[in-house]
């Protein structure tokens, strides 16, 4: 496969992390390979916590020239001058987010396993659609996005697609020809050495 066809990597933060140690860990991961985008994906709704986390993560992202988006919070994306927002409710908020953030911001939409919702999100102005999980994950109802959905998308839809959730080296090998991005998060953060885990996971791309 030609280099130009290689999927890019899209990094997702853990749902919770220690502000004292995580930025350094994040810097090691970003330093180890190229990422197109970083998503701040905290489980908390505490605004102060989100603001402090965003400040810490943004500093690292800018150092490595990686775009930074935040889950859900359009207002915080604006206030903090982030590159955009990642919407977790499918296509529902895309138009509003695009209107609020303007044409230059990144607006992404997680559409679960719904190919239809992904298409609607694209029509509403999303820059990319994330589909998942593609493998086994602890949360969720056990449903997965099958290979043929990505295959169809790559043949029919021009909008970039992110494959995320439960990635393994085998899935990376299988999906590489039919996805634009791999969304990598818990697969590496749950490991003792995230850099080594990332190298193992992305080995099929080298």
Q: What is the rounded distance in angstroms from the CA atom of residue 158 to the CA atom of residue 143? A: 25
Number of domains in the chain: 1
Residues 6+ apart with CB under 8 A from 111: 90, 91, 117, 118, 121, 129, 130, 131
Paired sense of beta strands 181-184 and 8-12, if any: parallel
Residues 158-178: tens digit of each pLDDT: 999 999 999 999 999 999 999
pLDDT of residue 3: 39
Length of the chain: 206
**pLDDT class for 94, splitting at 50, 70, 90?**
very high
pLDDT of residue 2: 31
pLDDT of residue 10: 98
Q: Which domain holds residue 76?
A: 3-205
User: How far does Cα 146 stand from its chain's mean position?
Assistant: 18
pLDDT of residue 84: 98
Residues 82-93: tens digit of each pLDDT: 999 999 999 999
Supply the CATH number for residue 126's domain.
3.20.20.70
Question: Is 4's pLDDT higher than 70?
Answer: no
Residues 11-51: tens digit of each pLDDT: 999 999 999 999 999 999 999 999 999 999 999 999 999 99
Residues 54-64: tens digit of each pLDDT: 999 999 999 99
pLDDT of residue 30: 98
Question: Is 200's pLDDT higher than 60?
Answer: yes
Radius of gyration of the chain (CA): 16
User: Could you give the 3-state DSSP secondary structure of residue 86?
Assistant: strand
**pLDDT class for 141, splitting at 50, 70, 90?**
confident
């Amino acid at each position: 496969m030609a280099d130009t066809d290689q999927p890019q990597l899209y990094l997702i933060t853990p749902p919770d992390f220690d502000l004292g140690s995580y930025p350094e860990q994040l810097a090691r991961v970003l330093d180890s390979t190229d990422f197109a985008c970083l998503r701040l994906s905290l489980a908390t709704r505490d605004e102060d916590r989100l603001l402090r986390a965003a400040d810490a993560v943004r500093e690292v992202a800018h150092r490595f020239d990686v775009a930074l988006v935040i889950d859900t919070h359009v207002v915080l994306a604006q206030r903090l001058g982030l590159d955009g927002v990642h919407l977790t409710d499918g296509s529902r908020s895309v138009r509003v987010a695009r209107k609020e953030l303007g044409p230059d911001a990144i607006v992404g939409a997680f559409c679960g396993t719904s190919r239809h919702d992904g298409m609607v999100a694209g029509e509403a102005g999303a820059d990319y659609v994330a589909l998942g999980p593609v493998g086994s994950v602890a949360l969720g109802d056990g449903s997965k996005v099958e290979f043929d959905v990505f295959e169809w998308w790559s043949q029919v839809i021009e909008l970039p697609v992110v494959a995320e959730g439960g990635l393994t080296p085998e899935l990376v090998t299988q999906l590489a020809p039919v996805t634009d991005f791999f969304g990598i998060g818990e697969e590496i953060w749950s490991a003792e050495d995230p850099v080594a885990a990332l190298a193992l996971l992305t080995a099929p791309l080298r």
